[in-house]
Structure 1
Amino acid sequence: MKIKTILLFTFIGMLSGFAQNSRLNNANKKYDKYAYIDAIAVYEKVADKGYKSVNLFEKLGNAYYFNGELDKAEKWYRELFALNQAVDPEYYFRYSQALKSVGKYDEADKMLQTFSQKTNDPIGKELLANPDYIQRLSKDSGRYQVENSGTNSKYSDYGSAFYGEDVVFASARDTGGVFQRKHKWTNQYFTKLYTARIAGEGFLDPAVKFSSSIDTRFHESTPVFTKDGNTMYFTRNNYNDGKKGKSSDRIIKLKIYKASLVNGKWDDIKELPFNNNNYSVAHPALSPDEKTLYFSSDMPGTSGASDIYKVAINSNGTYGKPENLGKAINTTGRESFPFVSLKNELYFASDGHLGIGGLDVFKSKMNADGSFSAPENLGSPVNSPKDDFAYIVDTRAQMGYFSSNREGGMGSDDIYKFRELRCDQILKGTITDKESGLPLLNAKVTLFDSNMKEMGSRMTDSNGHYTFETIDCDKRYYVRAENTDYETKEVNVTIPAKSGETVVDIALEKRVIPIEVGTDLAKVLDIEIIYFDLDKWNIRPDAAVDLQKVIAVMKEHPTMVVDIRSHTDSRQTHQYNERLSDRRAKSTLEYMVKNGIERNRLTAKGYGETRLVNGCSDGVPCSEAEHQKNRRSEFIVIKM
């Protein structure tokens, strides 16, 4: 007979209505050929009867965890940990997240602490404020070579930008000693823009003034240029046509201005429409496609002293509405000096995230949906106990510049050059069916960082292949693979500290499995051995868990008839093994009858050592593992 079974679990957000109907149609065609078992549904029925095992509770917990039903996952993970048996460290992390979902924060913190102790994973240090956090960041990772850029003065020099073969930056070198005025928001001397040619090894030649048409009596700083070099956005005090603009509390705020290069002269200087006299808008940065402008501001809605915002640059020259980048980036402290690399990596300065001291430089990767990954502190030597900010990088040359008032500089702020020595890695692999070894097309592969923040996802090609390019070295990631009718699987990987490729292949187990006459339910339900005590044939508690799986399947399919076959290895005599295996097979049958399966639906026979699956017969030396392959139980479907 042919039976159709509907899957009980689907992953939230995976299916649109169209895709859902399409998959159901395809699934119905498959169901016409076989009866199906939803393994998770079977396990839940077994667990609900009070049977317990690590494997059982891990699979049940994972089924709900990966489905986003953390409150249900908490139930099964609680049962898992109540067994007091060894589990992989990742279960401590998953259980902590599930505990948080039901408000058990103290227990969640304990699980995170244990997870941190077992894995030495950075998430434990960050979330639990481990005391060695600063020491770790302060240790030179060897990823950067940092030197003075060579163009600094005894006054403030900061906020550089690439401009062709030059670097343009702000300097107080001809005003700091005369006016001695500081802007209240930045605490910097009033500055003008200077330019310096990039020489060998990234050192900067002596600087000259950039443009007299840009200069005013107050601040000009932090420029950014379009790729064609004809448009510049820059920061200036609220000062237009010789007039100062002040806020309601009589402070001259900062604004972003736009200038165009006309006949070799910067002209047509206009302030951007989202500036305001009552708050500062400063430090512009452009996205690689030049359709988005990033900046820092203390406008209403800001989380702290200043936040990073973005605004769309429309094709007609107008601008959208500024958007706060949100809590992933902004804190109750200061976030400022954004820069976006060609790889869509956001660099910014902050004193609100965990850092070494003062402003530190952080990096966050932009995800496909426009959100940002958890910020990563660049550590030493880029960051120091002082203020470190205004980081820019040419990712093609792996070099760039940042500003700092660290010890050993020439002035209050200096520009430092750096060469990035970090390596590039490619993470790739193949997703396959565990049983057949065949590749799985359109399996979803998701990459998470060590904080379980999603970094992106891919769908496998016809060969089951997936690739994530430009993965950071010397870091831990989690790779999650999922596909319809398969159990989701997640593995962790630590990327080597050298350039190259890291391969992570994942084989998925079917969770909806076809059965027909001749199917061995032991293989379907992952039952290797029905364990008995030495020379005994009574059913042990751990064997009962596995037998309940078979019982649950037979109750789902009331016309199914099963032949129970018990096998031994070749040790002991033929006669002894045959009698022992036959008693065990019949004991198994009686257990199943006692638990609700009609006797006429079961047959049982012991085969002793007559059906060995390898060459481990009498007198042949074999390992314990090889002998174990012969000690097996089979539950063969002989009628549907």
Structure 2
Amino acid sequence: MKTKHTNSLYKTAGRTALCLFACTVMQQATAQVDQRIKQAEQYFAAGDFLTAANLYEQYLKPSPKEKSKADFPLNAKHGRQGSSMGKGVTKNDLLYKQAESYRLAHYLPQAAERYKAVAAADMNNYAHALYWYAVCQRALGNYAAAEESLNEFLAKATANDPYRAAAENELKTLNYVKQQTARPDTVMYTLQKFAVSTDKGVFAPVYAGNQFVVTGTEKDTAAQAGVNPNHNRLYTATLANNVLSVSEPLTVGADATANQGAATTSADGKHLYFTQWKTESGKQVFAVYHASKTADGWSTAEEVTTVNKDGSSKHPQLSADGKYLFFSSNRAGGKGGYDIWYAPVNADGTVGEAMHTGAAINTPHDEQTPFYHSATKTLVFATDGKAGMGGFDLFTAKGEGSNFTAVENMGYPVNSVRDDVYFFTSDQQNLLTNAVFSSDRGSECCLETYTVTKAPKKKIFTGIVLDKKDNQPVANATVVINVNGKQLKVTTDANGRYKTAIETDAEGTVTVSKHRYSEKQSNVSIVKTDESDWSSTTFTNNDIVLDRKIILTPETVVTVYFDFDKHNIKPDAAFKLDSLYDILVKNPGAIVQISGYTDGLGSVEYNKILSDRRAKACADYLMAKGVDSARISFESFGECCPLEMEIINGRDNADGRAKNRRGLINISYPPKEEE
């Protein structure tokens, strides 16, 4: 959980412009030292933190001619940073305010250097500078230094120190970072940073047809004195060989002095929603605008009044099905700071009344940059109000409307110790397939564009085959799994278990066969799903129970023989079958069970087919003579259960093989009535 001191940490609009604005700072200062400090405070209050930091730098490190004017009173009192920074201000006061400016502009190395200097010079009055130094070190990846500084601060902080809880939470953040970076499943993620064809800062990309719409920064050709000359604009961009090629800016706004960014487009490409903002009375004001596609480009955008009620609204994002517009707003009725809201979208692009997404999503801190994945009913959003890796983390929540549950941190490597925002994917089925997002993890200050794909977990299909008679496992049974048109064949182990990897959902049929058992086919019926393993999900099928076949012996059957690789009825076999027919006629209650066998030559699969044909040939002969098929059953056993040895002393025994090529016919009589 972030503390209240970090509410303004992430300024999603204009931070790239601030990076490019550094070169113009020198033109803003005057020769009067006190005027520079006053200007620095004005820029700080307006959110231009980098400008403020540079103005403080001019004062703290003046030119040789101005050095005499920059002396600080030796007996200055602490606590002047909230004033007009006039008389009585110490160097540490200004260093601390400069450190704050650098931190809020996301220039963390510079901020850390100054926090450390302030803490070393005046620990009594600026102990909390040590806390912010630790925060910067964590964000820079220097975890040991951050932990050491936090423990040093906590050792000196009083019980009611307003930064104590923040420091304790920062230690929890460090532990979470260690846990996340040690996760074994991080190898399943592929993360890449897009290169950009321009020196414009590019972030917040969304797909629009076969190209991107991105937010970038341009410098106005006709800059006004005292006004930041760099503005955020919307651009189209194409992606090839991992390079975003940025085109000319889109023309969507009537106000050339305003910034535009953080856009979303409808699936049919006819509607564009985006954020527009400017500084008014020293405060940045955000609003959502809408433009429609015309023959000449985009119409002049109009404010979406239903979204912009009672406060600032930004970061619009259409749900994948186009039914709702999600956005971030500090309007009345929220939990505090910026919350996630949503509103229905009509066919003509107009937007209905907004509704709050609920307490599960929102906190008293800031929730921003929403994205709703309709296929999986998942909301992705950035917040600094929930436990994470630091800065803004991306979270997911399952649900819809105002009913969301199972809020989860997306974890490393999607999240980092810096700010991770503006998540988007055009994939209709999977959330983490060619997704894009913005992060400042790889830069000194500014957001850059990344793509991430997570390889799917392996799907393991498993189950057990049991004997119906004694409920014992059946080993060496053949299991054929048919799922979505694909066939997989496996064999049960000594414990009767089969296991195989599948590529699709576990839906289809399972067929199990083994000698001396009746073949069993059943639909897949998942009784347990285990996702505890980071690399795989195991689907356990219902137990499959096999019936044993009745194995007939020569003493109880009529035996007929077949030629090698044949299934036709020979004359001597026909004579026996004719005699059997006479018995069936005289005993209308008698039934016949026929079993077919082969010798040991040929494959198991072929012999099963051949033995089936031999048994069926006997059955067909009797039915052709008029025996009701309901009185006849037949089964095939292949080369099972030979009567004679086929190899004697290493030599082939042809006579033995001939006796094994047989059909066994058993007659069962109805029980006699007691006299």
TM-score, reference length from structure 1: 0.43
Rg larger for: 2
| Structure ranking higher on relative contact order (CA contacts 8 Å, 6+ apart) | 1
TM-score, reference length from structure 2: 0.41
